[in-house]
């Protein structure tokens, strides 16, 4: 019956939503199925009516969280100028609010270590999500050449994720905010395409430099 199908999908989505917040807050190994189902308002035994294993739930959570976040980011940046998009995303990412709420934030910053050590569908989904984010951020990069745009996206995203991990790792909130500000300033400088490119060193100039 349609009602039963809809109810099943809604319940499954409820489990995934509860898992998405719990895993990002406590880690995948930090919360069991019983506590997870309790958060979703369901019994432990009901879990296996919707998922064959915890790994299946993790892989589904990865997919849905990434799709939702990528869609929200695209909508938020839709009216920004092309050369502003990657830095605008960095400003949103490297915020105090994001630091304070890992349960609703970037999955890579909160679960990256666990997902990188995983196997099977969880690891494959992690790989696919990384590739999807890098492709999207490459589209936002300000440079003109394809290779440089890819480098900007990869470097910027790595700095954002690493900066967020460092900021969450320190106890003092003022130090944490300073870390985030430092990474934002670094990226703003690194992504400034208005800076003149360094002059190409010719053989003649190289000989002059070597002679001095």
The predicted model scores a pTM of: 0.85
If one counts every other C-beta atom within 10 angstroms of the C-beta of residue 43, the result is: 10
Contact 109, 120 (CB under 8 A): no
pLDDT above 60 for 19: yes
Average pLDDT over residues 125-145: 97
Q: Got the DSSP string for the chain? A: -HHHHHHHHHHHHHHHHHHHHHHHHH-STTS-HHHHHHHTT--GGGGGGT-SSHHHHHHHHHHHHHHHHHHHHHHHTTTS-GGGHHHHHHHHHSSHHHHH-GGGS-HHHHHHHHHHH--HHHHHHHHHHHHHHHHHHHHH---SSHHHHHHHHHHHHHHHHHHHHHHHH-S-HHHHHHHHHHHHHHHHHHT-TTSPPPPPPPHHHHHHHHH-
> Which tens digits make up the pLDDT trace of 109-121?
999 999 999 999 9
Residue 2 falls inside a structural domain: no
> Which tens digits make up the pLDDT trace of 23-49?
999 999 999 999 999 999 999 999 999
Residue 61 falls inside a structural domain: yes
Residue 48 falls inside a structural domain: no
Number of domains in the chain: 1
Residue 201 falls inside a structural domain: no
Residue 6: per-residue pLDDT: 84
Residue 93 falls inside a structural domain: yes
Residue 18 falls inside a structural domain: no
Residue 209 falls inside a structural domain: no
Contact 201, 115 (CB under 8 A): no
> Which tens digits make up the pLDDT trace of 69-91?
999 999 999 999 999 999 999 99
Distance, in Å, from the CA atom of 163 to the CA atom of 176, rounded to the nearest integer, reads 9
Contact 186, 159 (CB under 8 A): yes
Task: Identify the CATH number of the domain in which residue 120 sits.
Answer: 1.10.357.10
Residue 2: per-residue pLDDT: 54
**Domain range for residue 90?**
55-195
Residue 75 falls inside a structural domain: yes
pLDDT above 90 for 209: no
């Amino acid at each position: 019956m349609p009602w039963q199908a809809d109810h099943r999908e809604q319940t499954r989505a409820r489990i995934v939503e509860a898992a998405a917040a719990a895993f990002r807050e406590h880690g995948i190994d930090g919360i069991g199925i019983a506590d997870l189902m309790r958060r979703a308002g369901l019994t432990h035994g009901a879990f296996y009516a919707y998922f064959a294993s915890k790994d299946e739930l993790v892989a589904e959570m990865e997919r849905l969280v990434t799709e939702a976040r990528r869609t929200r980011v695209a909508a938020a940046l839709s009216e920004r100028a092309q050369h502003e998009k990657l830095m605008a995303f960095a400003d949103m990412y490297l915020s105090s609010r994001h630091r304070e709420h890992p349960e609703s934030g970037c999955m890579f910053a909160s679960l990256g270590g666990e997902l990188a050590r995983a196997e099977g569908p969880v690891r494959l989904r992690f790989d696919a999500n990384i590739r999807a984010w890098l492709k999207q951020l490459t589209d936002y990069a300000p440079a003109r050449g394809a290779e440089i745009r890819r480098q900007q996206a990869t470097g910027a995203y790595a700095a954002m994720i690493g900066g967020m991990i460092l900021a969450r790792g320190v106890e003092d909130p003022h130090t944490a905010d300073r870390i985030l500000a430092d990474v934002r300033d670094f990226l703003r400088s690194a992504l400034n395409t208005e800076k003149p490119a360094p002059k190409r060193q010719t053989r003649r100039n190289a000989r002059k430099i070597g002679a001095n």
